[in-house]
Homo-oligomer: A and B are copies of this chain.
């Protein structure tokens, strides 16, 4: 027999997921600290008290959403960075991935952008932690590239932070662009590419310019 996890647990996870989905939907037009427990359960079609079977409070649900939004991204990022392409192509590929991700999971991205500095401490910390993990991965990848020869470790890290932050900002800008004039999204993408290019140029001349 295949280990079927039990009808019991399966149903539970189903409701749990329904709660997460409902919350994510409602969060498109408000922030977590104003989202009510009853509001969520009402959408799912379940009694308010059922919420407690899955999360202690809204903060806990928020943290779960953070994992859902950012957890799956690591593999993707690592794949891009591992590519042995030229700087220019890598930039294009990176921006493309961000663009696609925003288009496919807009609500998740919006949630992260909104709650990154939002009103719920636990969620803020979860996001910060996840972004730190990204920066770590980026830093590790940057370090293996020849351009980084002679760089101090903390300078590699500062560059990694710069990259990660730029991608997050670009993603957020793309969201804002979506419900604006058409063509605005393309402009954002074009600007993002050039900004990354400028950073890349600065990187190439960092040592020669006496980075310290």
**Contact between B162 and A198, CB atoms less than 8 A apart:** yes
Residue from B29, B161, B205 within 8 A of A119 (CB atoms): B29
A113 at the interface (CB under 8 A from B): yes
A128 at the interface (CB under 8 A from B): yes
Residue from B30, B176, B195, B211 within 8 A of A162 (CB atoms): B195
**Contact between A118 and B114, CB atoms less than 8 A apart:** yes
A34 at the interface (CB under 8 A from B): yes
Q: A198: nearest residue on chain B (CB-CB)?
A: B202
For A204, what are the chain B residues with a Cβ–Cβ distance below 8 Å?
Answer: 205, 209
**Contact between B158 and A128, CB atoms less than 8 A apart:** no
The complex is assembled from copies of this chain, and their number is 2
For A162, what are the chain B residues with a Cβ–Cβ distance below 8 Å?
Answer: 195, 198
In the assembly, what is the distance between CA of A203 and CA of B34, in Å?
Answer: 43
- CB under 8 Å from chain B, chain A span 105-143: 110, 113-114, 116-119, 124, 128
Task: Contacts A31-B31, A194-B158, A195-B162 given; indicate if A172 touches B117 (C-beta within 8 A).
Answer: yes
Interfacial residues, chain A to chain B (CB-CB below 8 A): 29-34, 110, 113-114, 116-119, 124, 128, 154-155, 157-159, 161-162, 165, 169, 172, 176, 191, 194-195, 197-206, 209, 211
